[in-house]
Amino acid sequence: MLAKNVAVGKSDASIRVRRFTVIRLLLDHLVSTPNLATADTQPVSPIIQNGKEHAESHSLAFYGDLNPEAILMEATSLCSRRDVSAPGGLGIWQAPIAPRPSTQSSSVPSVQSSSRRAVQDMVRSYLWNHCLPCRAPPSDYAVLKRIYFEKMNPIFPIFEDPSVSSVPDEPIDILVQQVVSLAAAADPEATQHLRVSPNGPLMSRQEFCACLSNSVLATLDAGLVTDRVWLIRLSAALSLYTQPTNAEEADIPALLNSRAVHHAHTLGVQMAVDDGHPKKHMIQTIFCCVWALDRITGAFYGRARLMHERDVGWDFDECIRAQAPPFRLLLMIINLLDKVIGLYCPGTRPSQPVLVELPIFEQMILDAEALRMTSSCLASLEIFYHSVAILSTQSPADVASSALPQPATNSRRSLAADRITSIVGEEFAGQVSYMPFIPYAVSLSLSVSYRKMRHSKVPMFRNRGKQAFRKNIQLLKSMDDMFWKSKTMVAMAEQVLNEMDKAVASLAQENGLPDLSKKVEPVPQGERPEVQPEETRALEFAQNATEAGNEWMLFDAVPDLDLFGHFDPTFDLGAVDAALVGNFDFGTSTNWFDWHHQWG
């Protein structure tokens, strides 16, 4: 029954988000500073502190020198200190001023206080009864946790393993369990552990992930968590691992990324701290996670970057060197991605072909000291590396759809796309870390094969592109119950293949050739009717061509045939071109939901 109550569909998800938005607005209207945390669970941000952590300590706030308050605070407060990110500093760290005691008598009844308590009780009751219970039982969570910390957290260490069970059954610990389960659910090994109640029924990935995503998002929106360090961790992790389910949720991952960046800027995570700071490594790791996520969001969702090097006080090379080898290797790839994104910024379309130089991936592994990484994690990062390689070439707009692309562009894209398809579908099938950049990479590989199939003038290359196109469709189809983009790309690509089969059947009939769109069943040798040898060879010829998926018979008969020019006029081929070829351009990623609406 619990699984039935907490499993929510698309409409329930939208209603829940709107419901908590209304509740949040009501809270803001009733009190200027609502606080849903009780006194005994009030979190203390441990990020920027002088001295020891204790229950009464407050996190410091950063005030830049452009803020007039900084001058007065530095001159009048003994608790302020200058930052160390640059000679002379860029501002000060200041402990917040304690609020003055209220002059209002505690015996005077307050209408606002009673209203506030009533709303708080309603929100807390809903969260504890409907949102926080939505989590995997201990036996299943143990498996999901192992998957996450073996395959995902080493690559993107937004959580520290001991912190997951530091305070059991507290809201933050429950939220971490939910996000960890959400991330691990994409792995094939997790299929038998997608439950939200002991001995409850198994759920589909979509149901399980929708339940967890909506629960975490509702809890964060309600303000139950006030510790900004945990708000950064949870917002960043949810941004990376949640998957929208409808057009209204399309911007949620980007919104969560902006929240993580906002809280990071509020705490001054982007500013360097003293070498002797007890939390320096943790601060560096959180900063690197948010910085990397901001670049990933820019690539996946066509968003502007929110963190800029000119605002950062850290030495990037120092921050990267301080990380564990798997995360260090990811950051090195993200650094390459950051350079590639610059090719796609508005107004930067080149007049001449541009090729961003990339180091050899093997050398990057050595530089990151990542030789001891598991092969599956290395393969996952290699997939991401090849995604960046596909995007690292930019051609002028007038030749973007040319049949003969630039030599460097063609060779780099083709090799990278083949490696992505091979790693995901053959070499490490079912073993990679199923993070969001896996379907993103396969989608790019699909676009490369589509371009070859669509524009090549040589039948052999066109057929080769079609075979790669089919393989990538099957890979995306195996992930479409977890990743929204996979579902969208599969729906569109399958309709393209259907139209191709229709066109081939029609043209084969017009040219007097066997209909290659139909499967020719083999006939046992002893049961074959008496036919002329020529007829036998024709049947075998058609059967072999059909099994191989080749249209080369048709192209041999009409070598300059444009198969796409014979599609049904009602089929919107221009939209397919814009979607699949435009997949190389970050800005079109925001149209995934429009594509899904059109292609079903």
3-state SS string for 387-433: HHHHHCEECCHHHCCCCCCCHHHHHHHHHHHHHHHHHHHHHCCCCCC
Q: What pLDDT score was predicted for residue 515? A: 52
Q: Domain limits at 86?
A: 61-94
Calculate the alpha carbon distances from 37 to 43, 112, 227, 234 in Å: 8, 18, 10, 17
Residue at 46 is within a domain: no
Q: What pLDDT score was predicted for residue 8? A: 40
* Cα four-point dihedral sign 444, 445, 446, 450: positive
Say whether both 286 and 183 belong to one domain: yes
Say whether both 37 and 66 belong to one domain: no
Residue with tokens 């030495």: 315
pLDDT at residue 473 above 80?
yes
Question: What is the amino acid identity at position 286?
Answer: I
Q: How many domains does the chain have?
A: 3
Residues 521-528: what's their mean pLDDT? Answer: 52
Residues 464-483: what's their mean pLDDT? Answer: 90
pLDDT at residue 217 above 70?
yes
> Residue by residue, what is the 3-state secondary structure of 566-599?
HCCCCCCHHHHHHHHCHHHCHHHHHHHHHHHHHH
Q: How confident is the model at residue 17 (pLDDT cuts 50, 70, 90)?
A: very low
Residues 435-461: what's their mean pLDDT? Answer: 89
Residue with tokens 């829940």: 16
Q: How confident is the model at residue 561 (pLDDT cuts 50, 70, 90)?
A: low
Rounded-to-integer distance, Cα 95 and Cα 80, Å: 7
Q: What are phi and psi of 94, to 5 degrees?
A: -135, 130
pLDDT at residue 549 above 60?
no
Say whether both 197 and 251 belong to one domain: yes
Residues 508-535: what's their mean pLDDT? Answer: 54
pLDDT at residue 516 above 80?
no
Q: How confident is the model at residue 378 (pLDDT cuts 50, 70, 90)?
A: very high
Residue at 117 is within a domain: no
Residues 338-344: what's their mean pLDDT? Answer: 88
Residues in the chain: 600
Determine the 3-state secondary structure of 132 from DSSP: coil
Residues 9-26: what's their mean pLDDT? Answer: 47
Rounded-to-integer distance, Cα 250 and Cα 387, Å: 22
Q: Which pLDDT tens digit goes with each residue over 129-181?
A: 889 999 999 999 999 999 999 999 999 999 987 655 556 778 999 999 999 99
Instruction: Count other C-beta atoms under 10 Å from residue 17's C-beta.
Output: 16
Residue 22's Cα: distance from chain center in Å? 28
Q: Which pLDDT tens digit goes with each residue over 39-97?
A: 333 333 334 433 333 333 335 667 777 777 666 666 666 666 666 555 556 677 666 65
- pLDDT above 90 covers a percentage of the chain that reads 40
Residue ending a domain, choose from 296, 323, 350 = 323
Residue at 390 is within a domain: no
pLDDT at residue 575 above 60?
yes
Say whether both 187 and 285 belong to one domain: yes
Residue ending a domain, choose from 268, 301, 323 = 323
Rounded-to-integer distance, Cα 494 and Cα 225, Å: 44
Mean pLDDT of the chain: 77
Q: What are phi and psi of 191, to 5 degrees?
A: -55, -35
The DSSP call for residue 201 is P
Q: Which pLDDT tens digit goes with each residue over 416-427?
A: 999 999 999 999
Residues 163 and 171: beta-carbon distance below 8 Å: no
Residue ending a domain, choose from 323, 346, 379 = 323
Say whether both 211 and 318 belong to one domain: yes
Residue with tokens 């589909």: 204
Q: What pLDDT score was predicted for residue 545? A: 47
Residue at 107 is within a domain: no
Q: Please, which residues bridge with residue 92 across strands?
A: 63, 82
Say whether both 275 and 233 belong to one domain: yes
Say whether both 88 and 8 belong to one domain: no
Q: What pLDDT score was predicted for residue 538? A: 45
Residue at 123 is within a domain: no
Say whether both 264 and 306 belong to one domain: yes
Helix (H) or strand (E) holding 329: helix 325-341
Encoded tokens for 240: 């990376």
**Closest Cα partner for 473 from 499, 451, 449, 503?**
449
* Cα four-point dihedral sign 204, 208, 211, 217: negative
Residues 249-254: what's their mean pLDDT? Answer: 88
Residues 92 and 81: beta-carbon distance below 8 Å: yes
Calculate the alpha carbon distances from 490 to 169, 353, 434, 487, 504 in Å: 40, 31, 18, 5, 21
Say whether both 79 and 212 belong to one domain: no
Q: What pLDDT score was predicted for residue 302? A: 83
Say whether both 494 and 592 belong to one domain: yes
Q: Please state at what angle helix 228-241 crosses helix 280-301, rounded to 10 degrees.
A: 30
Vertex 395 angle, CA 390 and 400, to 5° = 95
Calculate the alpha carbon distances from 143 to 133, 137, 181, 211 in Å: 18, 10, 9, 19
Residues 520 and 542: beta-carbon distance below 8 Å: yes
* Cα four-point dihedral sign 247, 252, 253, 255: positive
Say whether both 37 and 73 belong to one domain: no
